[in-house]
Chains A and B, each alone.
Chain A
């Protein structure tokens, strides 16, 4: 067989394998108890999208700020407790990734009143993973309406928005 046609045949198998893999990934994810809400969470990944906001997904700084100021839902700070004490988004609840269980116990009763209430988690910026971990912990506890404000604390600070401190 010609080299070129062999390559074409091999490539078509590669494409087939890739397609099967993606289909399997999507199917298995949707069969899981709580499908991973990746699409909503990751909308906010890139600054241009964040700035324009998109299709009701709560992630731009503008939207986040409106929600914070309107006291709609819980704002959760996933950073370490020490960072939270130095300054945080007004009204935010501290649920540090590393101390989640203990701190969750403090807020459990008010959080559990409505598990479908909006929760927005933030941490120390675009590359931090604490929000994802805390989001997952909350989802495992049965909360259904959780979003991540990807740009997190640095974006809030850079915008010169009001900070709250705890002694």
Chain B
């Protein structure tokens, strides 16, 4: 039962994050571009697809179908976000995290986002390890 609650919280965060981005792909594309990591050509498909991926991965984790794959998806996504935010901070970029839709640029919020991504990644890792597939 506690595992179910754990899955619902983690999955819920991702579903929420995806929903916040899905309605405004342009703002999200701006957000991704601001990280200055990806070639610009790669930005549009990611801006359009990533919100769906977040919702699918979070949704699957909640329903419990394919829970190993969904936990792994969330772990990988959190890891990628962690790296993206980390490199932005290291390069001194003052940008909007874009984690949950668009917001004001802030290095403080980026630091918080890094901590949050690390926690999410750890949580997904624990879930992945506890699930027997």
Tell me the A residues contacting B by CB distance below 8 Å: 1, 6-7, 9-11, 13-14, 17-18, 20-26, 28-29, 36-39, 41-43, 45-46, 49, 126-127, 129, 132, 135-136
**Residues on A with beta carbons closer than 8 Å to the beta carbon of B48:** 22, 25-26, 28-29, 36, 38
Tell me the B residues contacting A by CB distance below 8 Å: 25-27, 29-30, 33-34, 36, 40, 43-53, 56-57, 60, 66, 68-70, 72-73, 76, 94-96, 102, 105, 128, 133
**Residues on A with beta carbons closer than 8 Å to the beta carbon of B30:** 42, 45, 129, 132
Given contacts A13-B66, A22-B48, A127-B95, contact A132 B43 (CB under 8 A): no
In the complex, are the beta carbons of B73 and A17 less than 8 A apart?
A: yes
In the complex, are the beta carbons of A22 and B25 less than 8 A apart?
A: no
In the complex, are the beta carbons of A17 and B57 less than 8 A apart?
A: yes
Tell me the number of A-to-B contacts counted with CB atoms below 8 Å.
103
Contact of B50 (CB < 8 Å), options: A21, A41, A49, A132: A21
In the complex, are the beta carbons of A41 and B29 less than 8 A apart?
A: yes
**Residues on B with beta carbons closer than 8 Å to the beta carbon of A43:** 40
How many Å from the CB of A148 to the closest CB on chain B?
9
